[in-house]
Structure 1
Amino acid sequence: MSTPIRRFLIAALFTLVLAPAAQAADKLVIAATPVPHAEILEFVKPILAKEGVALEVKVFTDYVQPAVQTNEKRVDGNYYLHQPFLDELKKKQKNDIQVAVAKVHVEPFAAYSSKHKSLAELPAGATVALPNDPSNSGRALLLLAKQGLITLKGADNISATTKDIVANPKKLKFRELEAATLPRILNQVDLALINTNYAIAAKLNPLKDSLFIEDARSPYANLLVARTDNVDSPAIKKLAAALTSPEVKQFIADKYQGAVVPAF
């Protein structure tokens, strides 16, 4: 075998050996609820792919499993909760290894009714449905208090419960239910305080269909959350940069029309 041919074969073999390594990408598995979190993550997939990160979105319809699977290291992180919710989880979960990486968006929390067209129509003794997770329950009660429907002990207490209600002039009755079920029982109650992700999934427009809604100063920005052992990884940093990019800001504005607001 001549020297040029031998050199050509060695170079070709060397290229074949290196090719898979050159094409390999960092894999990142992120847990999320369907709307808008998973939709936003799907939007950034091509952006990350160009930077060598293969993003897998693991979708859940509840507020428990994404955090549990992050703690158990079955996923690399999650995107669905806000800081008060994360703080509440840290109190409850013994093996909490989660840390906020970036604020991505705010979903203004709102109140809906299929029985009444305005807050003025809400009758005495009305039944009001609230999310049953502590942080969102407190958030709902604060919103009710801002409308003058109730008075709370501690006007800014994000951990408020129904036990903190010190005045209830309309004698409202409260039902605390899993957040995901609230759109489905809307016709069974007078008023329901619904997280925007579940409202959008149920074809409710927070700006058009709600009786009242949080303003833009809401502190409940939804977070990209990672684990303490991977928070500084290049893949997580690339995802955080993508989620807070001008492209994502424009995508949120175009797709959600104010029902979801960028937090960056």
Structure 2
Amino acid sequence: MQRASHHSRVNATVVLNRRSVLATVAFTLAAVTGLVGCGSDTQVDYETAGGSGDSLVVYVGAGDDREILEYAVENLLPASVKIELVDASEDSNGKVAAGDGDLSFYQHIPAFEADLGTHSYDNLSIVSKVNVVPYGLYSSTWKDVKDTESWVNVGLVADEVTGQSLPHGSQVVLPATSTGFARGLYLLQSAGLVKLDRPFGGTSAVDLTITQANVLDSLRHLTLLGLGYDDYLQSLYENYDAVVLNPDDAASIGLTPAEDALAIEPGPGNPYAHVLVAPSRLAGDQRVLELARALESPELAQFLETKFRGANIPVAAAESE
């Protein structure tokens, strides 16, 4: 089953009319109460980029990021908010820092932090953690990761298998890249299959590049194999007990995370969350608060679930459940 296609490639600017702001408040969303509710009467006009007025100019990435932001703007904001969506480029953070745009939404946390480190932007911060493109664990043989007494690949004795849960002794393939292997390890820990020397969620270079040396205990006695996928993905999926895949790799062999994954990376606390970034000059801007609230809402979470079928999952909305 192929992953749902992305229909949103709008090059025009999305503009929505907004009411005047009621008050200036801090970016901390927990402190915000009584925000204006979302209505179905939101009017959308498509104009060219660079419009004037009270519009917030948001640099947005292509593909899923744009589709997610467009959905929030068109469906979840008060009827009075004006938002311009402009295609992001590598220097979009710099433009926001310099005042040539208001917000950016095109990167995950490690990419943003690396950009901060390179350019020393001291006036930018994350105001919303929105979505994650999660790695998943897939198997052509086993159906879940529930506790089991089954064993395979022992060698000296015959396999002892009852049920369809991933057995002890399974051979699990992870991406050979440092990032992919590390995310695979954290995924296995979140599924209760291994125990690492650190929790999930750190964004330091050390946290993001852990190896087998960081495995304290393989609770399912797994053999972990870091392999290059190249053109052999289907063969790896068919010939090993399980394989860790990102959504694009899964889709390439007909797999959908929501239906086929034995386990998926969690959204809450995920260091690879895609983020909305704002400058300090917009601290307390009600429009930014409203946009962040929309991006972290249960309605946005439901949109992700319906549209992407596990290939893009919510962060903050899941945390509030």
Change (3 A) 1:187 1:87: same
Q: 1:104 Cα shift?
A: 3.1
Q: What corresponds to 1:6 in structure 2?
A: none
Q: What corresponds to 1:224 in structure 2?
A: 276
Count how many residue pairs are aligned between Structure 1 and Structure 2. 224
Q: How does 1:56-71 map to 2 (within 5 A)?
A: 56-58=85-87, 65=90, 69-71=92-94
Q: 1:69 Cα shift?
A: 3.1
Q: What corresponds to 2:261 in structure 1?
A: 210
SS in 1 for 2:259: helix
Q: 1:100 Cα shift?
A: 1.4
- The answer to whether residue 129 in structure 2 is matched with residue 129 in structure 1 is no
SS in 2 for 1:154: coil
Kindly report the root-mean-square deviation, in angstroms, between the aligned alpha carbons of the 2 structures. 4.4
CA distance in 2, matches of 1:183, 1:224: 33
Q: Are the equivalent residues in 2 in contact too, given 1:107–1:261 (CA < 8 A)?
A: no
One of 145, 158, 161 as aligned partner of 2:210: 161
Q: 1:233 Cα shift?
A: 4.5
Task: Give the residue type in structure 2 aligned to 1:46.
Answer: E
Q: C-alpha deviations, 1:54-102, integer Å up to 9, x for none?
A: 3215368xxxx4xx531454763125425xx368537853424441112
- The answer to whether residue 292 in structure 2 is matched with residue 240 in structure 1 is yes
Q: How does 1:92-107 map to 2 (within 5 A)?
A: 92-97=117-122, 98-105=124-131
Q: Are the equivalent residues in 1 in contact too, given 2:104–2:278 (CA < 8 A)?
A: yes
CA distance in 2, matches of 1:184, 1:57: 36
When normalised by structure 1's length, the TM-score is 0.60
Task: Give the residue type in structure 1 aligned to 2:257.
Answer: P
One of 36, 39, 43 as aligned partner of 2:71: 43
Change (3 A) 1:104 1:91: closer
Change (3 A) 1:44 1:96: same
Stretches of structure 1 that go unaligned for 5 or more consecutive residues are: 1-21, 177-181
Q: Are the equivalent residues in 1 in contact too, given 2:136–2:246 (CA < 8 A)?
A: yes
One of 50, 60, 72 as aligned partner of 1:31: 60
One of 183, 186, 189 as aligned partner of 1:145: 189
Structure 1 range deviating more: 219-228 or 248-257 = 248-257
Q: Are the equivalent residues in 2 in contact too, given 1:31–1:58 (CA < 8 A)?
A: yes
